[in-house]
Amino acid sequence: MIQLDILAVGNLERDDEGKILEANSTSVLIRTPDHMIVVDPSTRYMRPAVKTSFKQIGVFPKDVDTVILTHTHRDHIENLDFYKGAKVYIHSGASEEVPGAVIVEDDDFEICKGVRMVHTPGHCPEECSVFVDADRHYVIAGDTVPLEDNFVRNVPPAVNTDPGLALESIKRVRRYADVVIPGHGFPFMADR
């Protein structure tokens, strides 16, 4: 049995010209029979919310043994130091170095039974999504799908290194997902 909980619901605020004013990623906890996994630790700003979520769920941050970073942008990884001792995974291609992280080269990499790290580049070269086979199929998409709107209107992230590849990656998310957890915002049903 695999359980997912949202530790913090991220946001993304832009001004009228589209310049990003504030960005904090969504942060997700996956519990499997053998592992506690956090996908995207989010920012310092979100730390109090994350702490409250751990209390409400009734588990301890120190028991998180694995952290998966969908990519290395600051608004997704700032809180990484909250999970000291956890094994950290990123996909290869990142321009930022994350000390001690395991660099995944595979296109589709099994973290543990039911949890896979799938390469979905386009927002940036290392971007990946986490595919979870729980009560239904979840995709924790990071900035492959920064906002629900990108998925609904099928538009690549405004910030991207390759818009064509970004659209291919959204397609890959669409093929698997019953529920999408975007990089910023609430989870949503894929077939809406």
Residues near Zn ion (CB under 5 A): 75, 143, 183
CB of 60 to Zn ion, least distance (A): 27
Q: Which residues contact 55 (CB under 8 A, 6 or more apart)?
A: none
The smaller minimum CB distance to Zn ion, of residues 126 and 143, is found at 143
CA-based nearest residue to 65, from 118, 115, 129, 138: 115
The smaller minimum CB distance to Zn ion, of residues 65 and 148, is found at 148
CB of 51 to Zn ion, least distance (A): 21
The smaller minimum CB distance to Zn ion, of residues 134 and 155, is found at 155
Pairing type for strands 102-104 and 87-91 reads parallel
The smaller minimum CB distance to Zn ion, of residues 78 and 143, is found at 143
Pairing type for strands 3-8 and 27-31 reads antiparallel
Place of tokens 């039974």: 113
DSSP code string of 116-183:
EEEE--SSSTT-EEEEEESSSEEEEEETTSSSHHHHHTT---SS-S-HHHHHHHHHHHHHH-SEEEES
Q: What's the residue count for the chain?
A: 192
The smaller minimum CB distance to Zn ion, of residues 32 and 120, is found at 120
CB of 26 to Zn ion, least distance (A): 9
The Cα 134–Cα 44 span in angstroms is 29
CB of 118 to Zn ion, least distance (A): 18
Residues 45 and 55 sit within 8 Å (Cβ to Cβ): no
The smaller minimum CB distance to Zn ion, of residues 41 and 183, is found at 183
CB of 33 to Zn ion, least distance (A): 30
CB of 43 to Zn ion, least distance (A): 10
